[in-house]
Structure 1
Amino acid sequence: METSELLKRVRRIEIKTKGLSKQIFAGEYQSAFKGRGMSFSEVRSYQYGDDVRNIDWNVTARSGEPYIKVFEEERELTVMLLVDISKSSFFGTTKQMKNDLITEICAVMAFSATKNNDKVGLLLFSDRVEKYLPPKKGRGHILRIIRELIETRPTGTGTDIGKALTYFTNMVKKRSICFLVSDFLAEDYERPLRIASRRHDVIGLHLYDPREKELPDVGLIHARDAESGQMQWVDTGSSKVRRNYQAWYDRHQEYFKQAFQKSGADSLSLETTEDYVKGLLRFFKSR
């Protein structure tokens, strides 16, 4: 993509998603994701009903009167975007490709986080880690994230969610909010998800195209596998072929639901045809 066209796309996405995050998501984001630690604020005189475990014995000894330590919630958070950019994300039968929708949603999350003075990081993956941007603050960093989401193409030929989660767990030590964005057409990531969820607040955002749920009956077609690149003839007129495809899709989605449920992590499924603003708002309000 030409640099000028890339910058125009980045600017269009910034205008659209920054407005959404400012008008809609900022308040919901702040209430949904609270600080995860307590920091010392001040000392004050002991009052009836205060927790005696918070008494500052040094100040109490010097003053001759009881004083307690006052703590406040650490508001600053770290937000990590773990984004599946495998070739299956470059698919769409509606007005938007999955990867375009992923870019928009991630931009909304990033602008919501930066408005709250939180750091944002990015990890792009296929069957390997394609790109890692450490968490930082600022508009320039968010625009870099958007550029990478638009421009980065996978070098891998498959999807390995477990490898991405393991890399994330090893790289990000501070507790963070992790949005794992994928179509989740993969398995064998339950254990890395469980490990990541012990330290971080992991949320799975499952994005899917309606045609991925059900194979339409359109006769014999010459189709390319999005990730392997192999071409093959598929008889969509065969009820057996459609049933097998449906079973394959359902198996992956059942694995996704059970893996997140067992790990104690939240998850949300969004179809590319639905209003993701409403879907995310409902999710935020439910937390």
Structure 2
Amino acid sequence: MGSLLTNVKAKMAIYAHERVRGVLVGEYGSVFKGRSMDFDDLREYIPGDDIKDIDWKATARSGATRIRRYIAVRKHNIMLVIDTGRNMTAVTDSGSSKKDTVIMLAGVIGTVALKHGDLVGMVSGDKGHSRYHPLKTGMTHLERLLQVIDTSVVDESDESNIASQLEYVVRNVRRKMIVVVISDEIEFDESVRSVVKRLRAQHEILWLRVSDADLTMRSFIADVEQIGHILPAFIRRNKTVMAAFRREEAENRQKFERELNRMAIATETVSSEEEAVPKVFRLLERHRSARYT
């Protein structure tokens, strides 16, 4: 089996020259600069302490003003949350492989994070199960994560349901993380809204969506959610039905972005491996704007 990370780096060299890649690393560093802080313990308030560190619940329980103390964490914790369900066996609206696009995105983010000295972990899976890959450093570790994505996205996989992986993170990951979600184009329904709100309360979130194929433009479309089911040609030839479909699809995309914007979560939609570097760069820019506006 060839090295997926080597392929990612080769494509990064093709799609973005050295200066652009350097700017990408610099942008990452400017967004996630400094040291993250983990809670350590409580102590009594001393005049001069920042009042923002007062733990009001502990103060009420003890009857004395209590301050939350933190310890510096030298490395950031980057948690990739990856959809490896059956939906990712399809193609994007550019005709590119969704799986290859996901691998490219995960590879770009992981490479930049590791160069910055951060730790990278992953939660991957489908509707039926989620799999946790602990935080580690090193390019060998990143290669293993990419291989997991590659071998997991197959026709026999259960259907995609990124809410399952997000729920896994909410329930099992306590330490503060920078969560980078890479998903299919999903509908922002109540189940997704609920889990994202809970996740957002504890972690920073960035979201990359891999675009769906344009069903109105392709001559032969298979529904990967129902293996073997083919969308009838007479439906695709019906202009009224297709116009309604395009409106609903556009509304769903706008709703998704609107909901995430309300939570100050940056998001980008990616259609191909070629777009990976510029879209990750733009995602970081949008995340920085969301944090400081």
- Distance in 2 separating the partners of 1:226 and 1:116: 38
Contact preservation (8 Å) 1:82, 1:180: yes
Does the C-alpha gap of structure 1 residues 72 and 127 become closer, same or farther in structure 2, counting only changes over 3 Å? closer
Contact 1:160 1:186 in 2 (8 A): no
The aligned counterpart of 2:86 is 87
In structure 1, the residue matched to 2:168 is 167
Q: Which residue of 1 aligns with 2:237?
A: 237
**AA aligned opposite 1:171:** N
Deviations 1:207-266 (A, max 9, x none): 215x43x61285xx5x42111212342322211221232134224313322331333322
Query: Secondary structure in 2 aligned to 1:52?
Result: coil
Q: Is the 8 A contact 1:159 1:186 kept in 2?
A: no
- Worse-superposed segment, 193-202 or 13-22: 13-22
CA distance in 1, matches of 2:95, 2:226: 25
After superposition, the CA RMSD in angstroms is 3.1
Task: Structure 1 unaligned segments of length 5 or more: list them.
Answer: 1-5, 41-50, 55-70
Show the counterpart of 1:204.
207
Residues 69-121 of structure 1 show CA distances to partners (whole Å, capped at 9, x for unaligned) of xx996441100111112222222364631211111111111111111221111
- Does 2:2 align with 1:7? yes
Aligned to 1:62: none
Cα distance in 2 for partners of 1:246, 1:28 equals: 35
- 2:49 is paired with a residue whose SS is helix
Separation (CA, whole Å) in 1 of partners of 2:270 and 2:153: 23
Which position in structure 2 is the counterpart of 1:61? none
Structure 2 gap ranges (5+):
41-46, 51-69, 289-293
Output aligned runs, 1:80-119, within 5 Å: 80-92=79-91, 94=94, 96-119=96-119
* TM-score (norm: length of structure 2): 0.74
Partners of 1:166 and 1:73 lie apart in 2 by 27
Q: TM-score, normalised by structure 1?
A: 0.75
SS at match of 1:83: strand
CA contact (8 A) 1:83 1:182 kept: yes
Q: Identify which of structures 1 and 2 has the higher relative contact order when contacts are C-alpha pairs closer than 8 Å and 6+ apart.
A: 2
Within 5 A, what are the aligned runs for 1:154-233? 156-188=157-189, 189-209=192-212, 211-212=213-214, 215-216=216-217, 223-229=221-227, 230-233=229-232
Query: How far apart, in 2, do the equivalents of 1:120 and 1:105 lie?
Result: 14
Answer whether contact 1:202 1:265 (CA < 8 A) is retained: yes
Ranges of 4+ aligned residues in structure 1 off by more than 6 Å: 18-22
Q: Shift of residue 187 of structure 1?
A: 3.7
Distance 1:80 1:94 in 2: 28
Q: Is the Cα contact below 8 Å between 2:126 and 2:164 reproduced in 1?
A: no
**Cα gap change, 1:160/1:175 in structure 2, threshold over 3 Å: closer, same or farther?**
same
Residue pair 2:38, 2:176 contacting (<8 A) in 1 also: no
Aligned residues: 251
Amino-acid identity (%): 18
Match of 1:31 in 2: 30
Distance 1:177 1:15 in 2: 26
Report which of the two structures shows the higher radius of gyration computed on alpha carbons: 1
| Shift of residue 196, structure 1, vs aligned partner | 0.2
Instruction: Tell me, yes or no, if the aligned pair for 1:157 and 1:228 is still in contact at 8 Å.
Output: no
Distance in 2 (CA, whole Å) between partners of 1:238 and 1:25 is 44
Q: Which residue of 2 aligns with 1:122?
A: 122
Tell me how far apart the structure 1 counterparts of residues 268 and 206 of structure 2 sit (CA, whole Å): 8
Cα distance between partner residues in 1 of 2:114 and 2:274? 26
- Please give the alpha-carbon distance, in whole angstroms, between the structure 2 residues aligned to 1:147 and 1:191: 31
1:142-153 equivalences under 5 Å are: 142-153=142-153
CA distance in structure 2 between the aligned counterparts of 1:237 and 1:266, rounded to whole angstroms: 36
Q: 1:17 to 1:273 in 2, by over 3 A?
A: closer
2:2 aligned counterpart, secondary structure: helix
